[in-house]
């Protein structure tokens, strides 16, 4: 059956943006093009609804807690210790023991039948089940879902909570985002045959000619004095059919607020600092609030600044490829958005929130696709310097060359050949 016609249950969770962003590009695989939200589907039993609500509220509260100095860091570090990703070296001689977080997930399934209803409903038509939320895959295996189960890895490295208690016996098939996440899964005991490095699923409308045209524009804008282009002209020509021509348009910086809405203070500081450059027309700033429209009032109308908010996550994800195409620099915490550097977008990284984002940051820096933000209040000084010396143009090319772009088609192929 052609990949575009292979239907599946596509299941996500409304926990921030990452899990839903990963399944959005696969919506045309979903039965009736409908992605199921595990914590908000019709007919969910009240007990499951209460459990999911508590999990989501705790997640969002902890993320927002990081805005408070000292006590916020203390509370978050305590929580993060339960989902810690251990250093990869030295390699353990035996498989990692199940974490507290993983045991808690299984405890809720055992004592509260968590997820039994959802898996029971899907089992009536046992299509391939594709999910971006690890507990859903664990539920499918625990409650004996009769069809194949695929789990999309949404970070560059992952904790023990992504693999079952008895990982060596699992039948879950993993769509790994990176080689490191594959190696990590194997270190937890997941059989090598169960893992395929597919890359992260990016919107297919962001690929192709529009991607190359946008990258050419970025490389020109972000290297006005040809510090990078002059040195690596042959390298650039290998990947861009048309060499970047000199471009005098304004550089567009997009600041993406995360799912918990915890970076609004940083975004505001950036807007205030960039005002001189915005007035001169050298820079444009797009503040992407996602679904946090309540934050709009914090960003008064300013020349050169657009503030974008959306009524639903569906409209946000549908609009995001256009936002990305028009973006020259993406400023974000190292969430799942790090994978969008593969489209040739250089990243400025806000401080990570949680172990998985710490690893995402390391990965981006290793690839050379981005760099840590400096003092946001002084970005009117250091951002022009990064542009003048061509460092951001180099980061754009590094992400484009080194990162996997075709995760969506690779996942479709993996599902088709294992179903």
Question: CA 73 → CA 65, 69, 78, 260, distances in Å?
Answer: 8, 6, 9, 16
**Is the pLDDT at 275 greater than 80, yes or no?**
yes
**Is the pLDDT at 2 greater than 60, yes or no?**
no
User: Residue 261: what pLDDT?
Assistant: 67
When pLDDT is cut at 50, 70 and 90, the band that residue 110 belongs to is very high
> Rounded CA gap, 22 and 329, in Å?
21
Cα 151 from chain centroid (whole Å) = 15
What spatial distance separates the first Cα and last Cα of the chain, rounded to whole Å? 11
> Rounded CA gap, 378 and 132, in Å?
38
What is the pairing mode between strands 36-37 and 251-256? unpaired
Mean pLDDT taken over the chain: 92
Question: CA 287 → CA 175, 322, 416, distances in Å?
Answer: 32, 14, 39
pLDDT digits (tens, 9 = 90+) for 224-241: 999 999 999 999 999 998
Query: Cis before residue 114, ω within 30 degrees of 0?
Result: no
Kind and range of the H or E run holding 137: helix 134-142
pLDDT digits (tens, 9 = 90+) for 143-194: 999 999 999 999 999 999 999 999 999 999 999 999 999 999 999 999 999 9
β strands within 180-324, DSSP E: 195-197, 251-256, 283-290, 305-309
Which stretch, 16-20, 261-265, 272-276, has highest mean pLDDT? Answer: 272-276
Whether 190 and 184 have beta carbons less than 8 Å apart is answered as no
**Is the pLDDT at 320 greater than 70, yes or no?**
yes
User: Residue 417: what pLDDT?
Assistant: 95
Query: Cα 416–203–150 angle (5° rounding)?
Result: 35
Whether 118 and 133 have beta carbons less than 8 Å apart is answered as no
When pLDDT is cut at 50, 70 and 90, the band that residue 245 belongs to is confident
When pLDDT is cut at 50, 70 and 90, the band that residue 283 belongs to is very high
Cα 399 from chain centroid (whole Å) = 15
**Is the pLDDT at 68 greater than 60, yes or no?**
no
User: Residue 6: what pLDDT?
Assistant: 75
Q: What's the mean pLDDT in 339-362?
A: 95
User: Residue 70: what pLDDT?
Assistant: 46
Domains of the chain and CATH, by start: 3-200+406-417 (no CATH), 204-402 (3.40.50.2000)
Report the predicted TM-score, pTM, of the whole model to 2 decimal places: 0.93
């Amino acid at each position: 059956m052609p990949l575009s016609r292979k239907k599946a249950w596509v299941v996500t969770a409304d926990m921030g943006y990452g899990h839903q962003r990963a399944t959005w590009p696969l919506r045309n695989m979903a039965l009736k093009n409908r992605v199921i939200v595990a914590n908000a589907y019709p007919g969910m039993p009240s007990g499951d609804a209460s459990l999911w609500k508590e999990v989501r509220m705790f997640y969002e509260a902890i993320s927002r807690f990081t805005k408070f100095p000292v006590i916020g860091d203390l509370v978050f570090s305590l929580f993060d210790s339960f989902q810690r990703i251990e250093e990869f070296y030295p390699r353990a001689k035996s498989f990692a023991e199940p974490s507290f977080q993983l045991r808690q997930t299984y405890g809720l399934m055992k004592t509260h039948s968590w997820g039994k209803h959802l898996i029971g409903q899907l089992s009536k038509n046992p299509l391939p089940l594709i999910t971006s939320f690890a507990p859903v895959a664990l539920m499918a295996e625990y409650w004996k879902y009769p069809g194949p189960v695929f789990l999309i890895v949404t970070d560059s490295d992952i904790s023990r909570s992504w693999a079952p208690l008895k990982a060596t016996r699992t039948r879950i098939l993993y769509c790994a985002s990176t080689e490191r996440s594959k190696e990590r899964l194997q270190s937890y005991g997941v059989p090598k045959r169960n893992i395929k490095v597919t890359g992260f699923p990016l919107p297919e409308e962001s690929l192709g000619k529009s991607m190359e045209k946008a990258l050419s524009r970025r490389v020109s804008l972000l290297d006005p004095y040809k510090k990078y282009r002059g040195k690596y002209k042959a390298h650039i020509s290998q990947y861009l059919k048309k060499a970047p021509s000199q471009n005098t348009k304004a550089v567009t910086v997009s600041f993406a607020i995360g799912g918990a809405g915890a970076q609004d203070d940083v975004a505001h500081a950036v807007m205030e600092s960039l005002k001189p450059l915005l007035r001169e027309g050298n820079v444009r700033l797009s503040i992407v609030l996602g679904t946090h429209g309540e934050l709009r009032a914090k960003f008064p109308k300013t020349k050169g600044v657009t503030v974008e908010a959306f009524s639903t996550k569906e409209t946000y994800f549908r609009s995001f490829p256009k936002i990305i195409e028009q973006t020259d620099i993406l400023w974000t915490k190292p969430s799942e958005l790090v994978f969008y550097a593969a489209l040739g977008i250089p990243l400025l990284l806000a401080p990570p929130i949680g172990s998985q984002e710490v690893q995402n940051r390391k990965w981006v820096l290793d690839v050379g696709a981005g760099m840590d933000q400096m003092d946001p209040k002084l970005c009117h000084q250091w951002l022009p310097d990064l542009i003048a010396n061509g460092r951001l143009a180099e980061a754009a090319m590094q992400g484009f060359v080194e990162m996997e772009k075709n995760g969506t088609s690779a996942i479709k192929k993996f599902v088709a050949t294992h179903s």
